[in-house]
Structure 1
Amino acid sequence: MKMSDEELEMDLEGDLDADMDDDLDADLDDDSDSQKRGGILQSTSKRVRMIFSVMASPNRIDILRILNSKGPLTYSELKSLAGFKSKKESGKFAYHLRKLLRQSLVALNKSERRYTITNLGKLVLSLARQIEERSIIESGKMYVRTSHESIEEFNSHKIIQSLVREGSLPLELAQKITEEVENRIYKYQTTYLTGSLIREMVNSVLLEHGHEEYRNKLARLGLPVFDVQEMITNLDNVDNGAEGLLFKTGQRVFAEHLLTNILPKDVADSHLSGDLHIANPGIWSMIPDTIFVNVKELIEDGIDLGGKYLDVSRIPASKQLDEITSALSVVISLLSKEASQEIVLDGLVSLFSKHSKSLPELEQKLTAAFATASTTSKYNKSSTNVSIRLQLGSDTKIINSIINAYKNYTKLTPIPKIGLIIDNEKGKITDVSATASEIISLGGKVMFAKGQTSSHGVTNGSTKNSGPLSIMLESVSINLPRLAFESNKDETYFRARLALLMKPALSSMALRKKDISDLTRRGLNPILAKNTQYMQKSNVSLVVNLVGLKEAVFNILGFQDNKEGREILHKVIETAVDVGAKKGKELGDTVAICMTETESATRFATLDGEKYGKNSSLNSMEGDSYSEGITIDASEISDYTAKSEPISECNKLAKLLNGGLFVTLKIGKDAKPAEIKKAIEKTSELTTSFKPVQEIAICGECGFKDEPFEDKCPKCKSPYVV
């Protein structure tokens, strides 16, 4: 008759009490016999023999290992972890556990009904491990756990092969290094050999012999165990679930590769020290930052994915409304993988121009297309990944339908991934300002501009007469306060340092352009390669961002914020533009200088605060970052004219910067749509481009944002407010 787990456990406890009495009697008998045989304690050798018999079973060693790492455990927990999951194996498990209990290698806490490993059990486990390791050494064989998920016998010839193939070492030197590494392995009696451990030893020997360059080629790229554990622990910093975790890990590896093996040392050091900042270094050499593309051509011609994305449905040339909106969401999703900051989509109005008779259906299907496209992964947490560019003055009905669809999408999405860029160069902003104001109050992203501009204010003026695609590489920012700190209040020397820093940075960006073109040609970015004639027709601009210009000129170089001081500020921009133009001519590339928003401003301010002290120039900063672009307060805009100082200075900077100026229209958090509408219309009369920004409270727990709130979410009562 089979017994249940509970019955077996009760039987085990009863046996244990009886066995302990029997063992005690047997020990006493053995003691008296031993005294009769001249005092030699035979009981000790018997106990050792019994313990060795317990160690003879892999199952029992496994139970000890589990209790050592996971215990204390209940009977059922231990049984499950030890792999005895079927009812047929219950008796077998009870037999093994009884053996361990009888020899006091495992103990039972009767009040908690949990099993623990004893000190004797730990000693036995340690001994088993030592015997296993020693047997490997004595056999003369060592086994390597490779990074290819296999165990292979140690072979020193493989080290020589790696040194020659990966590090380009001369054969004689490779043999010498390998011999020293092999001696160390045997000397340390290392039993658990891994590929990474051997590589560490090789690199250590190379450094000791002064071969740092070879060591850098052979270094393993990756994360320390602690960092991996931290990433798993702090999941608040990870978007997109497991995909985001894996992506973040991969980015760290490729960023390290960029800084140690691809960039020139002076540029890498400038980034690491904080003289300049490279955004998204993990994908720097793989994909561009911003792409302007005509989506009408893509969808009407059909998309050729070739042999890539074989699990994605192929998109034929689309004509019907259903087909077009479905294709649009797929195109947005796929294009989002081929740029690190933003995709700006042109041609949406003309794409839907034949469907003006079914506007309600268009709005509904377009809302769904935006929602579907928003589910794709993101490279950059802070930027608008996709922007729909609408040129006013064309088909007003279609434009309003697209804006209404975007408004519906904004209501559904706590933090929208998609944004609007409204180009009012040929149309009236009053046609859309009411709806745009509602969108802004809902937390939507709207940019107003004249001409081709990204949502972060970088202009693309050179593309008006070019092909269907334009690309911007804009991931380098320069820390102007740092240059000012190191210029001893000498404005001429400051500008000379700026010129010196820009030249190698631009050379690196030219190399980046070449790398991206090469990888695109080889299929890494299939839509760019196959559908946009990227290699033949695209226009690529290298854009450099200036950070902290105001702090550098007014706080550190010591100029007053007056006409003379602003002239110096303008001279700095002119110097950067001139250096960019000369270097661009030398490289055969278009170079533009901009002032836009990036994560570099906070990083620069933090590094400079650590280096020069918090009271150096940081005391006059707003917040904890350097200035980027220009901020205009919406509450004051009604008092301004084109000649007002903030507006005239803003327009002067926009004219000097050939890459664009990011202008933020800061709207009070309590402002209503009607007030936002007035501020937008007035600002559009005074400046060429601007982005209205209003703080909206969003619940970080449930995503609620339907009404304004301060400390607690009205829906779920969570205090976690984004």
Structure 2
Amino acid sequence: MISSKKHGNFKIEVVKKDGARENFNINKLVKSLLNSEVDYEYIDSIVSVVCSKIYDKISTDGIKRIVCEVLKEIDNQKGTKYAKNYQFKNVLKVRTSKNEFQPFDKYKIMNTLVDETGLDIKTAEKISNEIEKEIKKLNLKYLTAPMIRELVNAKLIEHGLEEFRQKHTRLGIPIYDIKKLINSGSRENANLMHNPESIHKWVADETMKQYALLEVFPKHIADAHMKGDIHLHDLEYAAIRPVCCQHDLRNFFMYGLKVDGTGRHTSVSKPAKHAEVAIQHAAKVLSAAQCEMSGGQSIDEFNIWLAPYMRGLPYDRIKQLMQMFIYEMNQIYAARGGQVVFSSINLELEVPDFLKDKPAVIAGTTRGTYGEYEEEVKMILEALVDVTMEGDAFGKPFLFPNFIVKLREKAFSDENKELMIKLHKLSSKWGLPYFINMLPEWQANNTNAMGCRTRLSGDWTGNTENDTLRTGNMQWYTLNLPRIAYEAGGDDDRLFEIMDEKLAILTEALNIKHNVTLKILSNRIMPFMTQKFGDEQYYRYDNTTKTFGFVGLNELLKYHLGEELHTSKEALAFGEKVIQHIRDYADNLKKETGLRWTVTQTPAESTAGRFARLDYKYYKDETKSVVNGDLTDASSLYYTNSSHVRVNSPTTLGEKIRIEEKFHPLCNGGHIGHFWNAEAYADPEVLMDITKKIAEKSNIGFWTYTKNLSICEKCGKGMPGLRDSCDCCGSSEIQKFSRITGYLQNVSNWNNAKRQELIDRKSNIPRI
């Protein structure tokens, strides 16, 4: 007897033809089979299959159909005879999601509603009866599982059961959209090529985005995102990944490398003994972490950790090793959707004070302290500059890793002058590297950057290493500042009230993501990041940042005050007040919750355009007076990134610095200064002088000199500016490169809004 077997919270009942119900009885099934002249040798296997497939409220016909299917597999002739005896010829078939045909059974609908949505059994039975009646009227030959689900969803709406409809809905993407992705791809992320893996990612992303908006976030947050009040970044990863991390290679150099985090699915490496292996391990750490996180991966103090491995090696050998690393990071297509790892390395001109006395890790042991490897630290940096300067085999710039140099007190000393000139030659040629200014008083003893600009600083707990290493940004979500201005209608008090309302929504969303991530970590869905070295988990999740981003401060000011950041001191002061308000909000949350709340200048690769397009749809009259782009082409519209000066404003570099430096200390979760060097080939010593002035006389915390480039595919010649033909051979086969937000990328991959911004950008180098 299996009458006590459970299905959900109910015993399995069988519905007879007259509507009566009885508990499923295995003895009765055996007797029925024998009466139907089924050979005794088949009885046991038939009963086993029936017991595995039955469900609550199955009909007697449903059981007989299962018997028929099994019999046909055993002996087709006997199965066919059995089917004729029970007249199964005209039964409506359902093509299931498992690519099988099964007879239609209304009780499966009822059970699904109870199991998936929690609907009470009486209402579920009523809906399943109504669906059965309507299907019989349609005179169909077969149904699909999605068709039935759509009919049920419509019936739930008809009965006012929207909450249950949402739980019952099916996620996916229309056939038309899949065809479009196959044929044309997507330009939402310029780092993705159009290939089979990216197509697969885009399709999966759409399903996960729908899941996030239906299941992860409550309706009011999902609606705020969809309307454009806010932007929930990385929605496709909201349920499964945090964003970015600053890695510390010492753990792997001491204990070895398990790229799966467990050693059960991949080979395990002992601690690297040789420099070549250390380089490979560094690349694999970044690619392994990228598999578990949605944003850029970075190694802070890159040349510090590697310095012990370079002891005694000639410069040419060190250069070759750095070349190996650069090519690894530009050729391993291991990241999501068939792309290279979105990687960064933070570099030092000398060993910083907080690391000088720390034991230097190499090959599973320690040899002296990092302060003893000053020469190797400089040689690694110089080698990276030389390799990056050369470009790849076709003469193109290396797109990754983001090359970030920290400028401390000795940066402009005579001993570093030659290396600094080399760095600025690199800047002149490729628009690299990025600089972190460690000189302002508001900077802590260590600061680093990841990906486009997200930032960690050693002022969270006061423990520099815990605050800046093995942790990162959990997530940032973004405010649409121009819309707040439209809704405030010129009223200062109302503007800040609305801002607080939107910040409260972002806070709730970030708290949800925080709790979701805690669950992911506890369930070991991120085995690489949660692996232990000794007794300590690698990933310091408690120190990750929960971050408020923002877009369009310039347009907020233009609408609210009639002035822009660069046109009046009053506008600049009010802009500071707006961002200070967000920072105060974050700081208060920090005190209340004990979590690390910060403010960032959102990179806004797609968000600046999305906000502008939605505002032009819902607030057309207000938007058209401030938005950038071509009003006849909505896809070209965009807002100015974060608190930057409008890209085509008539400002000198000095004016731009004096405006934008106001916001870097406020944006403790990330900031950047983009100084356009679009056409000019600036003299390296002139650029170095500009760098010195920025570092010593401003509060700019992180910046780069952006250079537009063109590379001829035919002859390999590199040219400054965006060219349509080659200066050397006349070919029109030109690849164009520029910085889209915080990284160099081929312009052909950019979305329309960012392409319009590129056209609008105005060079402000070398004037100061």
* TM-score, reference length from structure 1: 0.74
Cα distance, 1:202–1:173 mapped onto 2, change above 3 Å: same
SS at match of 1:162: helix
Cα distance, 1:190–1:621 mapped onto 2, change above 3 Å: same
Q: Is 1:544 aligned with 2:501?
A: no
CA distance in 2 between partners of 1:356 and 1:147 (Å): 60
Task: Give the corresponding residue for 2:718.
Answer: 706
CA drift at 1:527: 1.6
SS at match of 1:697: strand
CA drift at 1:422: 0.6
Task: Give the corresponding residue for 1:595.
Answer: 601
Structure showing greater radius of gyration is 1
Q: Is 1:334 aligned with 2:253?
A: no
CA distance in 1 between partners of 2:283 and 2:178 (Å): 34
Q: Which of 432, 456, 462 is the aligned partner of 1:460?
A: 456
Counterpart amino acid of 1:330? K
Q: Which shows bigger deviation, 221-230 or 347-356?
A: 347-356
Task: Give the corresponding residue for 2:346.
Answer: 389
SS at match of 1:341: coil
Q: Is 1:363 aligned with 2:319?
A: yes
Superposition RMSD in Å: 3.3
Cα distance, 1:596–1:201 mapped onto 2, change above 3 Å: closer
SS at match of 2:549: strand
SS at match of 2:282: helix
CA distance in 1 between partners of 2:407 and 2:325 (Å): 25
CA distance in 2 between partners of 1:547 and 1:380 (Å): 27
Q: Is 1:437 aligned with 2:424?
A: yes
Task: Give the corresponding residue for 2:498.
Answer: 497
Q: Which shows bigger deviation, 277-286 or 447-456?
A: 447-456
Q: Is 1:569 aligned with 2:575?
A: yes
Counterpart amino acid of 2:464? N
SS at match of 2:454: coil
CA drift at 1:215: 0.6
CA drift at 1:679: 3.9
Cα distance, 1:578–1:654 mapped onto 2, change above 3 Å: same
Q: Which shows bigger deviation, 590-599 or 256-265?
A: 590-599
Task: Give the corresponding residue for 1:718.
Answer: 733
CA distance in 1 between partners of 2:715 and 2:586 (Å): 44
Instruction: Trace 1:211-250 onto structure 2 (pairs within 5 A).
Output: 211-235=161-185, 237=187, 239=193, 241-250=195-204
Q: Per-residue displacement from partner, 1:44-76 (whole Å, max 9, x unpaired)?
A: xxxxxxxxxxxxxxxxxxxxxxxxxxxxxxxxx
Cα distance, 1:702–1:210 mapped onto 2, change above 3 Å: farther
CA distance in 1 between partners of 2:614 and 2:578 (Å): 23
Instruction: Trace 1:201-350 onto structure 2 (pairs within 5 A).
Output: 201-235=151-185, 237=187, 239=193, 241-305=195-259, 312-350=266-304
CA distance in 2 between partners of 1:547 and 1:382 (Å): 27
Cα distance, 1:331–1:384 mapped onto 2, change above 3 Å: closer
CA distance in 2 between partners of 1:240 and 1:372 (Å): 21
Counterpart amino acid of 1:552? L
Asked if 1 retains the 8 angstrom alpha-carbon contact of 2:559 and 2:626, the reply is no
Task: Give the corresponding residue for 2:386.
Answer: 404
CA distance in 2 between partners of 1:531 and 1:607 (Å): 45
CA drift at 1:587: 3.5
Task: Give the corresponding residue for 1:171.
Answer: 121
Q: Per-residue displacement from partner, 1:571-598 (whole Å, max 9, x unpaired)?
A: 2122212222223433431111122421
CA distance in 1 between partners of 2:290 and 2:582 (Å): 31
Asked if 2 retains the 8 angstrom alpha-carbon contact of 1:142 and 1:154, the reply is yes
Counterpart amino acid of 2:411? K
Counterpart amino acid of 1:712? S
CA drift at 1:224: 0.9
Task: Give the corresponding residue for 1:651.
Answer: 661
Q: Which of 595, 609, 612 is the aligned partner of 2:616?
A: 609
SS at match of 1:591: strand
Q: Which shows bigger deviation, 325-334 or 255-264?
A: 325-334
Asked if 1 retains the 8 angstrom alpha-carbon contact of 2:262 and 2:528, the reply is no
Counterpart amino acid of 1:376? Y
Cα distance, 1:269–1:698 mapped onto 2, change above 3 Å: farther
Cα distance, 1:617–1:588 mapped onto 2, change above 3 Å: farther
Task: Give the corresponding residue for 2:639.
Answer: 626
SS at match of 1:453: strand
CA drift at 1:425: 2.3
Counterpart amino acid of 1:433? M
CA drift at 1:307: 7.1
CA distance in 1 between partners of 2:403 and 2:215 (Å): 39
CA drift at 1:537: 6.2
Q: Which shows bigger deviation, 612-621 or 152-161?
A: 612-621
Task: Give the corresponding residue for 1:690.
Answer: 703
CA distance in 2 between partners of 1:268 and 1:210 (Å): 21
Counterpart amino acid of 1:554? K
Q: Is 1:447 aligned with 2:434?
A: yes
Task: Give the corresponding residue for 1:668.
Answer: 678
Cα distance, 1:566–1:307 mapped onto 2, change above 3 Å: closer
CA distance in 1 between partners of 2:297 and 2:116 (Å): 38
CA drift at 1:562: 2.7
Q: Which shows bigger deviation, 514-523 or 225-234?
A: 514-523
Q: Which shows bigger deviation, 489-498 or 440-449?
A: 440-449
Q: Per-residue displacement from partner, 1:134-158 (whole Å, max 9, x unpaired)?
A: xx99823122211122222323222
SS at match of 1:598: coil
CA drift at 1:718: 2.6
Corresponding pairs, count: 582
Cα distance, 1:517–1:580 mapped onto 2, change above 3 Å: same
CA distance in 1 between partners of 2:158 and 2:709 (Å): 58
CA drift at 1:458: 3.2
CA drift at 1:424: 0.9
Asked if 2 retains the 8 angstrom alpha-carbon contact of 1:414 and 1:704, the reply is no
* TM-score, reference length from structure 2: 0.69
Asked if 1 retains the 8 angstrom alpha-carbon contact of 2:110 and 2:125, the reply is yes
| Larger RCO of the pair (alpha carbons < 8 Å, separation 6+) | 2
Gaps of 5+ in 2: 1-85, 352-376, 439-446, 630-635, 737-746, 748-768
Q: Per-residue displacement from partner, 1:280-303 (whole Å, max 9, x unpaired)?
A: 210123222221121232343212
Q: Per-residue displacement from partner, 1:669-700 (whole Å, max 9, x unpaired)?
A: 2324535445444433333321221111246x
Q: Which shows bigger deviation, 512-521 or 484-493?
A: 512-521
Q: Which of 388, 393, 402 is the aligned partner of 1:419?
A: 402
CA drift at 1:421: 1.1
Task: Give the corresponding residue for 1:428.
Answer: 411
Asked if 2 retains the 8 angstrom alpha-carbon contact of 1:471 and 1:539, the reply is yes
CA drift at 1:481: 0.6
CA distance in 2 between partners of 1:204 and 1:405 (Å): 61
Cα distance, 1:495–1:378 mapped onto 2, change above 3 Å: farther
CA drift at 1:658: 3.0
Counterpart amino acid of 2:694? T
Asked if 1 retains the 8 angstrom alpha-carbon contact of 2:709 and 2:719, the reply is no
CA drift at 1:634: 13
Q: Per-residue displacement from partner, 1:240-273 (whole Å, max 9, x unpaired)?
A: 6211111111111000111122112221111111
Cα distance, 1:311–1:293 mapped onto 2, change above 3 Å: same
SS at match of 2:399: coil
Q: Which of 118, 122, 142 is the aligned partner of 1:192?
A: 142
Counterpart amino acid of 1:459? R
Cα distance, 1:609–1:333 mapped onto 2, change above 3 Å: same
Identity of aligned residues (%): 21
Task: Give the corresponding residue for 1:127.
Answer: none
CA distance in 1 between partners of 2:711 and 2:523 (Å): 43
CA drift at 1:492: 1.4
As a proportion of its length, which structure holds more helix? 1
CA distance in 1 between partners of 2:541 and 2:200 (Å): 35
CA distance in 2 between partners of 1:150 and 1:268 (Å): 35
CA distance in 2 between partners of 1:217 and 1:557 (Å): 46
CA distance in 2 between partners of 1:204 and 1:650 (Å): 53
Gaps of 5+ in 1: 1-135
Task: Give the corresponding residue for 1:478.
Answer: 479
Q: Which shows bigger deviation, 372-381 or 148-157?
A: 372-381
